[in-house]
Amino acid sequence: MTGSGTGDGLQLSLLQGFPASAVASSGIALAPVHPVARVLVESGVPHLDRPFDYSVPAAMDTSALPGVRVKVTFNGQELAGYLLERRDTSDAGHALVPLRKVVSAIPVLTPSVRKLAESVAARYAGVVSDVLRVAVPPRVARLDKEYLERHAKGIPVQESVSASNSQKPAAPDETGSAWAGYRSGGSFLLHLAGGGSPRAAVSSLRGYGPQGWPALLAGAVAAVRASGRGAVVVVPDYRDLDRLEEALAAVLPKDDVVRLAADDGPSARYGNFLRLLEGSARVAIGTRSAAYAPVIRPGLFACWDDGDDLHIEQRAPYAHTRDVLLLRAEQEEAACLLAGHSRSTEVQRLVEQGWAIAVEPDRPAARAVTPRVVNTADSFEQERDPLARIARLPGAAWKAAQDGLLRGPVLVQVARAGYAPSLVCDSCREPARCNDCQGPLAIAGGTGASAIPQCRWCSTPAPTWTCTHCGRLRLRRGATGVIRTAEELGKAFPGRPVITSSGDHIKAAVGDAKTLVVATVGAEPVASGGYAAALLLDGDSLLRRENLRAGEDTVRRWFNAAALVRPAKEGGLVVITASDTSAVGALLRWDPSGYAERELALRRELHLPPAVRIASVTGTSSDVAYYADAVQRQLKAAGLELRSAGPAPVVLGRPARQPGSGDADVRTLLFIPYAEAAEVTRILRAVRSASAAKRSAGPVQLRLDGTDVL
């Protein structure tokens, strides 16, 4: 069902098969063939998430092709949109408004990407135009003009493709050395090279050097290119992207690979997008938006480190790269590769269901490549150092750093950035709060005026702070940040350079000099020859976070850091300071899949994600109540009954927000079994669309599978 181009909302007269001759706007000659254009208007309004019919003026007949960007008049405004298809008839029931302008004759929205966007919007109960905003990069007029001029000369795309791919991709046995020692790894590469579509979950061992994870992914891409198909590989950030690009340059022609990343700038991103569109490049690598790259005849979709929250789109509908690639692999009947040093519970679920095979290293290969891991909280270390449990840098960690600096760089992983990111009362250990807004107090620096505690929310200084619980005046650090840690280690190891990597000053790589590298979790630089040792501090602090995925995420960060350390046979040592037996045990045994299996079993027993899907509805108390009631009525009519929780304040201790007030939002959670997920998401989407159309309630934030709500 479509609407007209007049923007009359839901009050539309519908008449199936309305003749094309009757849709002509007075005084405008229409295209002789297929004079009706179905247009998806770029709008985040839920009830406008459907095609609208417009007439095609004869002057635009040759340029108004499916997939092009257009401008249309909608409710008296000029809006952008995409032309989806051309038709002979319309069901609007009255004369149509003509297209206002064809922005560019380049069909930037391919049928496969359009279908993918519709699938992503359906899965996340979102709006298709919100997905396309991520999938199709902003237009650069100069590049459009160059593209059209080049193709106007009549150069066949096949000629361009053959020129850029003159160097034949290496065979799997030439590029698969990084896969040596992985069970079923060779079979996976041969299957790809033979034109097959296997699906695998790979647990990578090494994070540095020529045999690191970039070479692992490059081998898979080279194998699929040997079959004549394309590939899409998505990584979390620009540091990983640079390393992957370097690895691919060793096995593929340079012109065959393009980057799609916002950090490269709009011109570079859009230019590479057009190269994929015409087929002069067949491999797309990049960050989140690269999952929608218009690769011709794709054969492989790969994602590195899917547990990283950088893979989650920060705008509606908050899609996860992993799920986008899974949907696309099914749609294109292509191979899928989910790789990481650890394994997320979502990937473990796919393995247990048989959707993907587990490609894991043999134990001899793992022992030959991985470092030795020591836990300072075990009974042996406790007997040698009774204060190890309470010391931030136990004796074993100190000795490891001292010995490691004789052989090369030493990595120190800390939980927090800053100097003293949290303060507590020295007497009762209660968190120190601002007297004005009750925000947490912190110290930004170590000396001078910056040592005065100040609020992290309102920046109000607190030089004369008093504890509201016990009345004492003294503060102590509840946590030590990366700057303070680097300061202390610099004093402890005089003469040794100390490098920090955190916040806005993240370093991608360091050399093999004998230096101390202090980094926050996720900001660890890569040492070209591997670290001689690594100290994983603040483990208990990471594990105690109030989040369902605290343990899973901590284990992932530990494995990512440990994979940067040299093998045990070369003296590589990892010292971890945490007391959680299951999480630490996974690292001690180097068994990421075992931890993921145990974690998923616990989630399944408790009916928590990813054993079930979860939907969160956030907004004012009245809007959330209206939306939740409407959804429950629809579910009841469909014979469905879901477990729910809430509404509850998003921030505890603050009153629920009423319309027009400044108080906090509330949130309601719905737990959705996978068997009922398609119908439930359809209902969630329909209720929000109806509510927006009738303006019966204010807008709410609807998120599916949010990782931060539990």
Instruction: Give the model's pLDDT for residue 378.
Output: 62
Render pLDDT for 398-432 as a digit per residue (tens, 0 to 9): 888 899 999 999 999 988 765 545 677 877 767 77
Superfamily of domain 20-135: PriA, 3(prime) DNA-binding domain (3.40.1440.60)
Q: Strand, helix or coil at 702?
A: strand
Contact 257, 214 (CB under 8 A): no
Segment 212-246, tens digit of pLDDT: 999 999 999 999 999 999 999 999 999 999 999 99
How many Cα atoms sit within 13 Å of 530 on the Cβ side?
Answer: 28
Whole-angstrom distance, CA of residue 281 vs CA of residue 517: 38
The angle subtended at Cα 141 by Cα 137 and Cα 142, nearest 5°, is: 115
pLDDT in tens, 260-283: 998 899 999 999 999 999 999 999
More confident residue, 472 or 687: 687
Per-residue pLDDT band at 154 (split at 50, 70, 90) = low
Write down the pLDDT at residue 15. 30
2 compared with 605, residue with greater pLDDT: 605
Structure tokens that stand for 593 in this block:
């899949």
**Which pLDDT does position 160 carry in this prediction?**
41
Helical packing angle, 592-606 and 550-562, nearest 10°: 170
What CATH architecture is 369-603?
A: 3-Layer(aba) Sandwich (3.40)
Please give the Cα distance from 679 to 431 (Å, whole number).
45
CATH number for the domain formed by residue range(s) 613-704: 3.30.70
Whether residue 16 has pLDDT greater than 70: no
Other CB atoms within a 10 A radius of the CB of residue 464 amount to: 8
- 136's tokens: 């199709």
For the segment 11-38, the average pLDDT, to the nearest whole number, is 60
- The CATH 3.40.50.300 domain(s) of the chain lie at 152-366
pLDDT given at position 266: 93
For the chain, give the percent of residues with pLDDT over 90: 57
Q: What is the mean pLDDT of residues 373-381?
A: 73
Average pLDDT over residues 271-298: 96
User: Strand (E) positions, 29-164?
Assistant: 36-41, 52-55, 69-74, 77-87, 101-102
Residue with tokens 């959670």: 669
pLDDT (tens digit, 9 = 90+) per residue, 427-459? 776 777 887 767 777 776 554 445 678 887 777
pLDDT above 90 (res 658): no
For 418, the token pair is 């800053």
Mean pLDDT of the chain: 85
Name the pLDDT band for 161 (thresholds 50, 70, 90).
Answer: very low
**DSSP-derived 3-state class of residue 553:** helix
Query: Could you report the per-residue pLDDT of 501-534, keeping only the tens digit for each?
Result: 888 788 999 999 999 999 999 999 999 999 999 9
388 Cβ neighbours under 8 A, 6+ residues apart: 376, 377, 381, 382, 394, 395, 396, 577
Q: What local confidence, expressed as pLDDT, does residue 441 receive? A: 77
Residue 652 has pLDDT above 90, yes or no: no
CA dist 173 and 371 (Å) reads 27
- Which pLDDT score is estimated for 697? 81
96-116 pLDDT tens trace = 899 999 999 999 999 999 999
**In 3-state terms, what secondary structure has residue 40?**
strand
Lowest mean pLDDT, pick from 103-117, 329-343, 466-480: 466-480
pLDDT score recorded for residue 68 = 96
pLDDT surpasses 70 at 535: yes
Give the model's pLDDT for residue 471: 77
Compute the average pLDDT of residues 201-207.
94
505: phi then psi, degrees, rounded to nearest 5? -125, 60
User: Residue 381: is its pLDDT beyond 80?
Assistant: no
Q: pLDDT higher for 155 or 701?
A: 701
Residue 87 has pLDDT above 50, yes or no: yes
Residue 384: predicted pLDDT: 61
Residue ranges of the chain assigned to CATH 3.40.1440.60 = 20-135
Asked if the model's pLDDT at residue 23 lies above 90, the reply is: no
pLDDT of residue 170: 53
By C-alpha distance, which of 314, 489, 336 is closest to 401? 489
Answer whether residue 145 shows pLDDT above 80.
yes
CB 440 within 8 A of CB 433: yes
Residue at 409: amino acid letter: P
Residue with the larger pLDDT of the pair 129 and 490: 129
pLDDT over 50 at 363, yes or no:
yes
The yes-or-no verdict on residue 390 having pLDDT over 80 is: no
pLDDT over 50 at 11, yes or no: no
pLDDT at 625 over 60: yes
- Which of 67-71, 128-132, 261-265, 280-284 has the least mean pLDDT? 261-265
Q: Is the pLDDT of residue 248 over 90?
A: yes
Cα separation of 664 and 7, whole Å? 35
Confidence of residue 473 (pLDDT cuts 50, 70, 90): confident
> Which range, of 122-136, 378-392, 686-700, averages the lowest pLDDT?
378-392
* Whole-structure pTM value: 0.87
Q: Does CATH number 1.10.238.10 belong to domain 152-366?
A: no
- The arithmetic mean of pLDDT across residues 631-649, rounded, is 89
Q: What is the 3-state secondary structure (H, E, C) of 601-664?
A: HHHHHHCCCCCCEEEEEEECHHHHHHHHHHHHHHHHHCCCCCEEEEEEECCCCCCECCCCCCCE
pLDDT in tens, 572-593: 999 998 877 889 999 999 999 9
Q: Could you tell me how far CA 279 lies from the centroid of its own chain? A: 26
